[in-house]
Structure 1
Amino acid sequence: MRFVHWSLSIDPDNGEPAYAAACVTCDDASGPSADKRAPELWCLRHAGRTGHTGFRATITSHFRATPLEGPRPP
Structure 2
Amino acid sequence: MSPRTLIRSVTHRITQHPDADVTYEAECLSCKWATQPSTDLEAVDVECMSHAGRSNHRGFRRVVTGFAFVVRDGE
- TM-score class, shorter-chain normalisation, is 0.7 to 0.9
How many residues align structurally?
A: 68
State the secondary structure of the residue aligned to 2:19.
helix
Is residue 50 of structure 1 aligned with residue 74 of structure 2? no
Provide runs of 4+ in structure 1 moved above 3 Å. Answer: none
Structure 2 length as normaliser, TM-score? 0.76
Higher Cα Rg: structure 1 or 2?
2
Is residue 25 of structure 1 aligned with residue 27 of structure 2? no
1:8 to 7, 10, 14: 14
State the secondary structure of the residue aligned to 2:30.
coil
Structure 1 length as normaliser, TM-score? 0.77
Task: Please tell me the residue identity of whatever aligns with 2:61.
Answer: R
Structure 1 unaligned regions, length at least 5: 70-74
**Residue in 1 that maps onto 2:72:** 67
